[in-house]
Amino acid sequence: MTPPGLREKKKRRTEASIVEAALTLFNERGFRAATMEEVAERAEAAVGTLYNYFESKSHILVAVLLNETEKYTQEAALKAAGVEGGRLSRLNAYSDVYLSQYSAYDKPLWCEMLSGLFKEPSRAALLFNESSAVLIPITGLLGKNIKEVTTQIRHEASIIHSNIMASLLQYLTDEEMGIEEAQKNARELIRRTTVQRRK
């Protein structure tokens, strides 16, 4: 019998393999064209195994989005932490790096992922409410000790995150917009937010 710790690690590896395979396949073929059977084949798993982890293809899509967002958040925070200057410089660096990563895949795929996310409000809250884990790096960039985070600081981080997400959504839904324009828009929104918060 497999010890509980090893069983849990195996489950996490299998789930990660499914999510990674699905992302590659969805990007290549499109979400609607890809099938659960193809995801299983790409992940080198049985179709039944997929259904043990995910109820449907839409559930896999949401897991892909949350997984990619977590990676993007960590990467952006790491790069922004090393930026010289004040908090506005760090926040702009965070925003630039975070947004640039969304250009790695086609816009329609991201739109499909976000659409799937909003069909599950409890999962959408993982990205869009004031207790979301994605706010932790932004709170850190505001120069505050994470143990001393006040409601006001959390609220400010939430507004900054909302500004970044608004720029991302504009980029994803505007076929003509490039990522550089989205980054510029986000920087301006962040600048306005930080100026207003100081008043």
Q: Which residue has the higher pLDDT, 123 or 171?
A: 171
User: How many CB atoms are closer than 10 A to CB 141?
Assistant: 24
34 Cβ neighbours under 8 A, 6+ residues apart: 22, 25, 26, 57
Helix (H, G, I), strand (E, B) or coil at 144: coil
Mean pLDDT to the nearest integer, 140-154: 70
Q: What is the DSSP letter of 148?
A: G
Confidence bin at 147 (pLDDT 50/70/90): low
| pLDDT, average across residues 160-182 | 93
What is residue 91's predicted lDDT score, i.e. its pLDDT? Answer: 93
CA distance 25 to 39: 7
Confidence (pLDDT) at 3: 64
Max Cα–Cα distance, the chain, nearest Å: 63
Banded model confidence at residue 4, pLDDT cuts 50, 70, 90: low
Model confidence at 121: pLDDT above 80: no
Rounded Cα–Cα distance for residues 62 and 13 (Å)? 18
Q: pLDDT category, 129, cuts 50, 70, 90?
A: low
Query: What share of the chain in percent tops pLDDT 70?
Result: 87
- Average of pLDDT values for 53-68? 86
* Interval 168-179 mean pLDDT: 93
Structural domains for the chain: 1-54 (1.10.10.60), 57-198 (1.10.357)
134 closest CA partner among 69, 62, 183, 67: 69
Cβ neighbours for 62, distance < 8 A, ≥ 6 positions apart: 113, 116, 117, 120, 123
